[in-house]
Structure 1
Amino acid sequence: MFVAPPVKHEDHDAAWDAALRAAVDWSILLDDEPGDPDLRERFEAWRMADPLHDGAWRQTVHVDALIRQLPTERPQPETAAPVGRARLPRPRLRHVVAGACLAALAWLAVPIVLLQVRADFITDSTSQADIRLEDGSRVRLAPGSAMRADISATGRQVTLYAGEAFFEVTPDPTRPFEVAANGTRVTVLGTGFNVRIGERDTDVAVKHGRVQVEHTEPQAASEVLATGQWMRMSANAPAARGEIAPEVVGSWTRTRLVAVDRPLPDVIEDLRRRYAGQIVLLGDVPRDLSVTGIFDTSDPAAAAELIVRPHGGRVRQITPWLLIVSLNGQAS
């Protein structure tokens, strides 16, 4: 079994990602024109130009072979109500290869076993959890999320490892309440607030009260958010902040996704956490494509269509467990 070469440095990680995406593009072209000798020659030149290219191509071929062994039906969770779905044209194998390869990256990026060891609470794609902590505070944990809570006589620390959570904190001046989420620290000053970990950013929004937000990696000046304010923290870009209707904060549910002026890739990531299969967003989508709306995630394909349609996007359902999303100018 072929395993992608291990990478540690951020630049190497980005190079492997780019090589894998290029390999997927080549698989699409070769699938379209299997008898084109010039195309095959250009592909071989690309593959032999860098060991990463060859490794990415071997990974693509390997995943393709695995997919051929997979069933085409996936049983629905017992808790999910039957949902009608329009029958979509079945695309060619190239979409399956693209989806599975990038899904493999996602699997490597967030080791499920590690989350199970570190987290106290984990939700799957079809459930949310309503948690009452020892101090009386309440947490609503979104689908596809994981967190740990350490409540003691001297302090209250919560770590959000993945996903999204809404907090209603019981005031206690003697015990600060802090939430750590992917390099962002939120210190509660008596409030109800929402924290969401995205693919590149961490969002904090306040429903009522106030919170202090700071980025810990690298250390940055802290800012205070009040009712109806939000902030997006990123390690690679300046922090962004704005206003939001308080009633919208934390208004998501297991099957309802709420987005207010959020980057399109982040909204697709939220949908992915609520889907028992894989959703693959092809290409490098500009971060300035924003989404606002309320989406019913009980039908992930329909929700994805509504999310990307205003930007000229399209959705292909390969099997009950794989959706491919592409925008204008991307492979589809």
Structure 2
Amino acid sequence: MGYEQADSRQRAGTYTHPDPAVDEALDWFLRLQDEDTPETLRAFDAWGEGRPDRVQAFDEIVRMQGMASLRLATLADRDRQREERRQAGRTTVARRPIRPWRLGYAAMAAIVLAAMAWQQIPGLLLQWRSDYLTATGERQTITLPDGSSVVLNTASAIAIDFDKGARRVTLLGGEAYFDVRHDAEHPFIVAGHFSDVEVKGTAFGVLAEDARDTIVLERGRVDVTRRAERGERAILEPGQMVIATDEGLSAVTGADPAQSLAWREGRIVFHDRAFRAALSELQRYYDGQVLLVSGRFANRLVSGNYRVDDPEAAIRTLAASAGASVTRLPGGVLILR
């Protein structure tokens, strides 16, 4: 695109990115917010076919849209301009309609460009803090200095401290299974986001999410303490679990470790799980974006035993079991509806 054409579009109130692939990807992203027809999706597939630069640009924009601030800004700007168009329609008899995919273009582009520099920071900080970490879809078994072992699940990270007799592991994010070597004089402590799990010799799993830690005990005994309130404790026996949040500890409940910890064998098992929750679990293994655009499946109960070494196939199978269709867009974006 020449400078003269770019200048004319700037004066017209639109935005032009120097990279044509990004410019077109922004256009398609906003267009797909409002157009969901088979013809549009076929045209979109044709646009990305054989063009990895376009696919990469679109995937980058979709990743940015996953940021809450970006999503809210985009939707707010789009709603604002729709309202302006509606108000203008009351007084204008003949006016060329604004293409819906142009709504919010400038705001979207500006935020995307600003966010691109920041999106890598959390990942870099995690790398700097961690001693071991796994990529999306990867599992890794680690032998610790005391002979205990840790199995890291997909997209997980830990930092360890074994200096001067200490045995402490911080689960920075994700999920891990610990098989702890017995040492009565040196308790083994796993720190999650909201809890500390103290053991002397046992095997258990911890899932550290943004809003909670979930601890499932397979064998032995563990003492779970909520970090914000040290007096709040729970003692787990084999086959039990507890959840720690910023608000407190849940009641201790029964758990099936063979089901909860099946990920160690590359499987996820669901039994009467809400579709949205099951999909969220599988998304952790998929290195791409999954968009659920219809709420009619969200609370539908699903069951099944899914392999996570092919997460896209697992997501498609799960969707089929709930009656949802799957459309794959360039960049590995899966749209469920």
Structure-2-length-normalised TM-score: 0.61
Structure 2 counterpart of 1:131: 142
Single out whichever of 118-127 and 298-307 deviates more from structure 2.
Answer: 298-307
SS in 2 for 1:38: helix
| Mapped pair 1:60 → 2:83 | no
Structure 1 counterpart of 2:253: 242
- For residues 181 and 314 of structure 1, do their structure 2 counterparts lie closer, same or farther at Cα, with a shift above 3 Å needed? farther
| Mapped pair 1:38 → 2:86 | yes
| Mapped pair 1:304 → 2:288 | no
| Mapped pair 1:154 → 2:205 | no
Structure ranking higher on relative contact order (CA contacts 8 Å, 6+ apart):
1
User: In the alignment, is the contact (CA less than 8 A) between 1:255 and 1:274 conserved in 2?
Assistant: no
Aligned residues: 258
User: In the alignment, is the contact (CA less than 8 A) between 1:138 and 1:167 conserved in 2?
Assistant: yes
SS in 1 for 2:312: helix
Q: Percent identity?
A: 27
User: In the alignment, is the contact (CA less than 8 A) between 1:146 and 1:163 conserved in 2?
Assistant: yes
Single out whichever of 263-272 and 152-161 deviates more from structure 2.
Answer: 263-272
Deviations 1:88-146 (A, max 9, x none): xxxxxxxxxxxxx9xx8x957x8000011000001111321110001000101012111
Of 255, 259, 263, 1:252 maps to: 263
Amino acid at match of 1:20: R
Structure 2 counterpart of 1:145: 156
Amino acid at match of 1:181: G
Deviation at 1:226, TM superposition (A): 0.9
User: In the alignment, is the contact (CA less than 8 A) between 1:169 and 1:192 conserved in 2?
Assistant: yes
Deviation at 1:264, TM superposition (A): 5.6
Aligned counterparts of 1:40 and 1:239: Cα–Cα separation in 2: 54
Structure 2 counterpart of 1:122: 133
Deviations 1:301-324 (A, max 9, x none): 332244456666554322252224
Deviation at 1:230, TM superposition (A): 1.3
Deviation at 1:151, TM superposition (A): 1.4
Deviation at 1:215, TM superposition (A): 1.9
| Mapped pair 1:17 → 2:68 | yes
Gaps of 5+ in 2: 1-16, 18-66, 91-103
Q: Alpha carbon RMSD of aligned pairs, Å? A: 4.3
Which one has the bigger helix percentage? 2
Single out whichever of 259-268 and 167-176 deviates more from structure 2.
Answer: 259-268
* Aligned counterparts, 1:141-290, within 5 A: 141-217=152-228, 219=230, 221-236=232-247, 239-253=250-264, 255-259=266-270, 267-280=278-291
> Quick check: which has more Rg, 1 or 2?
2
- For residues 268 and 181 of structure 1, do their structure 2 counterparts lie closer, same or farther at Cα, with a shift above 3 Å needed? farther
User: In the alignment, is the contact (CA less than 8 A) between 2:307 and 2:314 conserved in 1?
Assistant: yes
Aligned counterparts of 1:285 and 1:158: Cα–Cα separation in 2: 42
Deviation at 1:245, TM superposition (A): 2.4
SS in 2 for 1:190: coil
Structure-1-length-normalised TM-score: 0.62
User: In the alignment, is the contact (CA less than 8 A) between 2:180 and 2:200 conserved in 1?
Assistant: no
Deviations 1:271-314 (A, max 9, x none): 33322223345699999877654222233333224445666655
SS in 2 for 1:185: strand
